[in-house]
């Protein structure tokens, strides 16, 4: 009882502070907001090839309910084509996709780039699923050569107060609270979370020391998210958000160590204010945001103390003019001011970046065809400039088939870490350019049995790809002269509903072959080898069934062998994971109670997503969700 009272007091204090902060940011009321996670509406993960909505993975809300208590790591591991490199529950986890490393895979929420401005990558363990809300989506372009991941939850508008708590059998305990209120023109959402990962797991990696890595990978994360929207009129909207996360983590030991020796503190702030105006044939969106990150790393063995601060101020304007029904002209202008410092502000780097994009789109009705040409240029003032050009042709065959073809030359500027990190940064790096070829065939049918199918073939040719490699006692980034990545992606979703019974199955398969095709030094060991952490085969399948207040789910995922370095002998073994869960829901007038029970890794598979770092064996997760829902008028 004392624990429960203390918990609620802490969360209410967080709500009051967040509400006061939001009130100061917005002097006016704010607009109707899609609402509570407990109403079973489609949850969508956009795992799209960069700058084009071509591959869309839809996640059923039933699956989302089983994972709303955690971070984006588990969600993306089990429900997307992305390969996640994870050091332990709650600790560092980054994305690897189609041969591009984590710094080339932006993570976007509500049009805001969540990536750390210092190194351009995002630790997805610092993204709580409980925070996911979508206010007013619109297209966002970032000049990354990899895969863009947009996380959005499209939910109903309701007044609600929700609480979740979950416990995993190896000592991980999470809880969160969310309050949503809709007024005539105003909508406010406040959410708070606390994740505690103890990782009390008896599991040893395959190295000869047989050390237990997981029990030395503890993590504690707390966060607050506030979203507010004010609808001035049906065509004029103002919205704001504040996202704050603090993490204190004990990193797992490296390959030759037996105990943890490194502690990391992360503070992450994302705030934005956005104004959207639609008038006649013109739509305009203006967004101002600030991203602030603090990462403090302490290694007790080597006495290394790293204090990294980074801050990005961004102002972005998107405009789109519709010239009749046949021509649309979207334009984007984005300005960034980046400040990054290391060694407790002893070394400070200032950088300004300017990004311009124009993408005229033509519709040819008689051919059911849309053609689009996208041209962009990014300038890192005083350092680099790069151009991109992309052509897209979309052909429809009736209402069921859509065929999209794309060819483009994309680019990626070196990140601040690539250039300035001490020790190891390389100021001589060149921008990375990629030729992209892709064809996507989509099929939709929404009858008694609903069918959605996406089939994609792709080929990337990269020049001057930026890769970090060992260099003496440190790691340093270098440009690989030429690399190649090609393959196939297949997504299939089948749904059936009869009365209160709903059945849904989703399958995804990815084949990806990568290689270093040319190097400056003919004797370079990377020549002809696969890019590290790029599995050739990935497959996942899920099945959900629900009837009134009861339901179940099954999930399967397979990941083939992959190299951890350019040396083929460094290969990690393939693995397959099976998870299962059941849930029940009870309604008491306006109160809804949901109980989830999951058994993860039923086969008790021993596996590693990154070399020498153990992953959990069989474990049980129990989640309890309460929601007081009062529908809006």
Tell me the per-residue pLDDT of 165-216, one tens digit each, with 9 for 90 and over: 999 888 889 999 999 988 888 889 999 999 998 887 765 555 545 556 666 7
Asked if residues 37 and 137 have their Cβ atoms less than 8 Å apart, the reply is: no
Mean pLDDT of 542-548: 91
CA torsion 471→475→476→480, rounded to 10°? 80
Residue corresponding to tokens 């297949």: 490
pLDDT band (50, 70, 90) for residue 254: low
Task: Return the DSSP state at 529.
Answer: P
The pLDDT score that the predictor gives to residue 417 is: 75
**CA 402, CA 345: separation in Å to the nearest integer?**
53
pLDDT band at 14 (very low <50, low <70, confident <90, very high): very low
Q: What is the pLDDT of residue 142?
A: 66
Q: Does the N-terminal peptide bond of residue 423 adopt cis geometry, omega within 30 degrees of 0? A: yes
CA distance linking residue 396 with residue 402, whole number of Å: 4
Is 291 a residue whose pLDDT tops 80?
Answer: yes
**Mean pLDDT (the chain, rounded):** 80
Q: What percent of the chain has pLDDT over 70?
A: 79
- Please say if the pLDDT value at position 331 is more than 70: yes
pLDDT on residue 536: 94
Give the pairing type, strands 107-109 and 147-153. Answer: parallel
* Sign (positive or negative) of CA dihedral 520, 522, 525, 530: positive
Q: What is the pTM of this model?
A: 0.82
Kindly indicate the confidence band of residue 84, based on its pLDDT and cuts at 50, 70 and 90: confident
632 versus 595: which is more confidently predicted?
595
Report whether pLDDT(111) > 80: no
Domains (range + CATH), the chain: 2-631 (2.40.170.20)
Q: What is the pLDDT of residues 133-160, one digit of tens each?
A: 765 555 556 666 667 777 766 555 678 8
| DSSP per position, 235-256 | TEEEEEEEEEEEEEEEEPP-TT
Better-predicted residue by pLDDT, 525 or 100? 525
Using the predicted structure, report yes or no on whether residue 34 has a pLDDT greater than 80: no
Here the tokens at position 214 are: 């997981």
CA dihedral 343, 345, 348, 351 (to 10 degrees): 110
Higher-pLDDT residue of 517 and 431 is 517
- Please state, in angstroms and rounded to a whole number, the distance separating the CA atoms of residues 195 and 171: 11
């Amino acid at each position: 009882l004392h624990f429960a009272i203390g918990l609620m007091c802490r969360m209410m204090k967080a709500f009051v502070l967040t509400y006061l902060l939001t009130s100061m940011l917005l002097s006016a009321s704010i607009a109707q907001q899609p609402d509570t996670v407990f109403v079973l509406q489609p949850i969508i993960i956009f795992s799209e090839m960069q700058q084009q909505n071509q591959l869309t993975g839809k996640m059923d809300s039933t699956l989302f309910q089983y994972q709303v208590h955690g971070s984006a790591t588990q969600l993306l591991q089990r429900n997307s084509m992305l390969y996640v490199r994870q050091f332990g529950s709650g600790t560092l986890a980054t994305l690897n996709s189609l041969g591009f490393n984590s710094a080339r895979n932006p993570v976007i929420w509500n049009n805001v780039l969540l990536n750390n401005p210092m190194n351009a990558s995002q630790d997805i363990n610092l993204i709580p699923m409980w925070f996911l809300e979508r206010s007013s989506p619109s297209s966002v372009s970032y000049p990354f050569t990899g895969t863009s991941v947009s996380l959005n939850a499209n939910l109903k508008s309701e007044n609600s107060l929700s609480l979740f708590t979950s416990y995993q059998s190896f000592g991980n305990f999470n809880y969160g609270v969310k309050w949503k209120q809709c007024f005539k023109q105003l909508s406010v959402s406040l959410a708070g979370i606390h994740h505690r990962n103890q990782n009390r797991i008896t599991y040893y990696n395959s190295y000869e020391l047989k050390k237990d890595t997981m029990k030395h990978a503890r993590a504690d994360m707390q966060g607050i998210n506030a979203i507010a929207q004010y609808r001035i009129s049906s065509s004029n909207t103002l919205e704001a958000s504040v996202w704050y996360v603090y993490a204190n983590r004990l990193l797992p030991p490296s390959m030759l160590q037996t105990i943890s020796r490194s502690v990391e503190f992360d503070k992450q702030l994302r705030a934005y204010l956005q104004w959207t105006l639609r008038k006649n044939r013109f739509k305009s969106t203006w967004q101002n945001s600030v991203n602030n990150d603090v990462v403090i790393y302490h290694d007790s063995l080597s006495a290394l103390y790293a204090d990294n601060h980074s801050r990005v101020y961004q102002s972005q304007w998107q405009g789109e003019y519709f010239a009749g029904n046949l021509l649309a002209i979207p334009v984007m202008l984005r300005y960034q001011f980046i400040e990054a410092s290391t060694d407790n502000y002893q070394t400070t780097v200032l950088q300004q970046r300017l990004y311009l994009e124009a993408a005229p789109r033509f519709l040819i009705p008689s051919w059911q065809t849309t053609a689009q040409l996208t041209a962009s240029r990014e300038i890192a003032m005083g350092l680099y400039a790069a151009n991109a050009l992309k052509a897209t042709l979309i052909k429809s065959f009736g209402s069921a088939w859509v065929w999209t073809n794309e060819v483009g030359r994309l680019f990626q500027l070196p990140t601040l870490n690539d250039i300035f990190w001490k020790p190891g940064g390389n100021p001589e790096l060149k921008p990375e350019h990629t030729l992209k070829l892709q064809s996507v065939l989509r099929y939709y049918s929404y009858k008694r049995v609903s069918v959605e199918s996406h089939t994609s073939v792709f080929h990337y040719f990269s020049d001057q790809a930026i890769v970090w490699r060992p260099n003496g006692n440190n790691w340093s980034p270098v440009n690989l002269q030429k690399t190649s990545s090609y393959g196939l992606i297949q997504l299939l979703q089948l749904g059936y509903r009869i009365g209160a019974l709903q059945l849904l199955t989703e399958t995804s398969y990815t084949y990806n072959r990568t290689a270093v095709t040319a190097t400056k030094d003919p004797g370079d060991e990377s020549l002809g080898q696969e890019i590290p952490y790029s599995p050739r085969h990935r497959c996942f399948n899920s099945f959900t069934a629900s009837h009134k207040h009861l339901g179940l789910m099954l999930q399967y995922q397979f990941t083939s062998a992959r190299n951890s370095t350019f040396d083929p002998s460094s290969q990690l073994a393939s693995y397959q994971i099976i998870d299962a869960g059941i849930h029940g829901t009870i309604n008491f007038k306006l109160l809804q109670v949901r109980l989830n029970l999951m058994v993860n890794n039923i086969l008790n598979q021993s596996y590693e997503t990154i070399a020498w770092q153990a992953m959990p064996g069989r474990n049980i997760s129990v989640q309890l969700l309460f929601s007081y829902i009062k529908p809006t008028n």
